[in-house]
Amino acid sequence: MTGERRATTPWLPPRWFIRLAWHVHRGAYRVLGARIALWRPRAGKWGTLRLTTTGRRTGRPRSVVIGYLEDGPNLVTLAMNGWGQGEPAWWLNLQTHPDAVAQLADGTRPVRARAAVGDERTRLWARWRETDTNLDAHAQRRPSPTAVVVLEPAPDA
């Protein structure tokens, strides 16, 4: 090469490993409970929460453990599906039924979900970039933009 830098895509584990990690984390939650399996975000680090949505087809409760940041009273996450194709089921569920329950390390709260847009999305994406320097490169793996999901306190909570 003649002085050019070759762009490299950051490494991601294989899809089967990402899915296995999700299952292990859910199992850890079931066995160890929220005090161990869920944690609050710290400076430059994201936290984890357990989100229970209503299934868009079944109407049944569906739970998933996801990463989040705090933005005032709101919780912010990315609908990234492990950087794979398609939208994660929890985000599709929230688009149909935006009311959900977020269980945090220190308690549970009802939330209402929406996608961040415009300047808000830009600002929140930049906050996520502070926790993952490869965020933009990982997002480029997806064929569609990654939704920035805001979980606001439910209005009647």
Q: Could you tell me if residue 7 is inside a domain? A: no
Q: Say what the pLDDT of residue 15 is.
A: 64
Instruction: Decide: residue 67, CB within 10 A, 0-12 exposed, 13-18 middle, 19+ buried.
Output: middle
Q: Say what the pLDDT of residue 155 is.
A: 86
Q: How many domains does the chain have?
A: 1
Q: Could you tell me if residue 52 is inside a domain? A: yes
* Top-confidence residue, 15 or 126: 126
Q: Could you tell me if residue 10 is inside a domain? A: no
Q: Could you tell me if residue 6 is inside a domain? A: no
- Residues spanned by the domain of 82: 15-153
Note the pLDDT tens digit of each residue in 8-38. 666 666 666 556 666 665 666 666 655 567 8
**CA torsion sign, 66 to 24 to 16 to 42?**
positive
Q: Could you tell me if residue 26 is inside a domain? A: yes
Neighbours of 97 (CB within 10 A): 15
Q: Could you tell me if residue 80 is inside a domain? A: yes
Q: Could you tell me if residue 4 is inside a domain? A: no
Rounded (5°) CA angle 144-150-151: 135
Note the pLDDT tens digit of each residue in 71-82. 999 999 999 876
Residue 26 · residue 33 · CB < 8 Å: no
Residue 138 · residue 10 · CB < 8 Å: yes
Predicted TM-score of the model (pTM)? 0.80
Note the pLDDT tens digit of each residue in 34-59. 556 788 999 989 999 999 999 999 99
43: domain CATH number? Answer: 2.30.110.10
